[in-house]
Amino acid sequence: MKKGQGVPRGLWIKCDSCGAILYHKEAADNLHVCPKCDHHFRLTASQRLASLFDGDRYKVLFNRVRSTDPLGFVDSKAYSDRLKTYQKRIGPQDALLVGQGEIDRGPTVIAAMEYGFMGGSMGSVVGEKLALAAERCLDRRFPLVIVSCSGGARMQEGILSLMQMGKVSAALARMREKQLPYISVLTDPTTGGVTASFAMLGNLNIAEPGALIGFAGPRVIEQTIRQTLPAGFQRSEFLLEHGMLDLVVHRHELKETLATCLGYFR
């Protein structure tokens, strides 16, 4: 490194939980889990698919489905301009990346939400791609895994975003009728309309440790009911203890757990 040149950007990261300064490659080699305190960093959708499919190999599906601006929504910035910014920064997949590959040599479709694209918000594209993923599973008798990471419905699309809750739930109901497995994986955060629909509808609902899962946020709930919430409220361990989840699984064990569970369904 030349004299006076700074440290390359992104070489080090700080753990949000314990505050440890970590070498980025060290965290990446550990599946983006802090080696000091076991905090699970958020993964991008592409990182998530690569970590779950055999050999990191998968075929991307439905990436030609694109968002429009049906309401001509404008706040501090036009929605159409926001979409262009995020598409340039993140890619064309919107807030959902769908891939087809194999888990333990079994054909599987995985849909992973991308928090970096408008907070993983669920708009018309997310709903359409999830419905298409379910239809593909119905046609080919594949299992479906959805990895949720979302702040909820996308306000810039108004009622059209909320309609996706029913649309996706109906598609999953058709899978259930045909006895095709759907496993929901909830990561930090899974909130709003995503929690109120497909994220909690799995044959198995599995969460990563420490994930925030709920409809309204804890601060909103406290202000509404004017009571102090229990410690760990809305974290995955709390939900497991109160019967809202089936399993809490460390990221290092998630692929193996999915393979075992899907093996029971096949």
pLDDT tens for 134-184 read 999 999 999 999 999 999 999 999 999 999 999 999 999 999 999 999 999
CA distance 216 to 233: 12
Query: How high is the pLDDT of residue 84?
Result: 96
pTM of the model: 0.94
Query: How high is the pLDDT of residue 130?
Result: 98
Peptide bond into 35 cis (omega under 30): no
Q: Which residues contact 254 (CB under 8 A, 6 or more apart)?
A: 51, 52, 185, 206, 208
Q: Cα 110 to the chain's mean position, in Å?
A: 10
* pLDDT tens for each residue of 224-254: 999 999 989 999 999 999 999 999 999 999 9
* pLDDT tens for each residue of 28-77: 999 999 999 999 999 999 999 999 999 999 999 999 999 889 999 999 99
Tokens standing for 21?
A: 């300064």
Kindly provide the residue ranges of all beta strands, DSSP E only, lying in 139-242, ordered along the sequence. 144-150, 182-190, 204-207
Q: Do residues 99 and 59 touch, judged by C-beta distance below 8 A?
A: yes
Res 1 pLDDT > 50: no
Query: How high is the pLDDT of residue 219?
Result: 87
* pLDDT tens for each residue of 73-125: 999 999 999 999 999 999 999 999 999 999 999 999 999 999 999 999 999 99
Q: Three-state DSSP class for 97?
A: strand
CA distance 117 to 124: 14
Confidence band, pLDDT 50/70/90 cuts, at residue 196: very high
In the chain the domains, ranked by start, together with CATH numbers, are 1-41 (no CATH), 42-265 (3.90.226.10)
Query: How high is the pLDDT of residue 247?
Result: 98
Closest C-alpha among 45, 8, 7, 13 to residue 28: 13
Confidence band, pLDDT 50/70/90 cuts, at residue 7: low
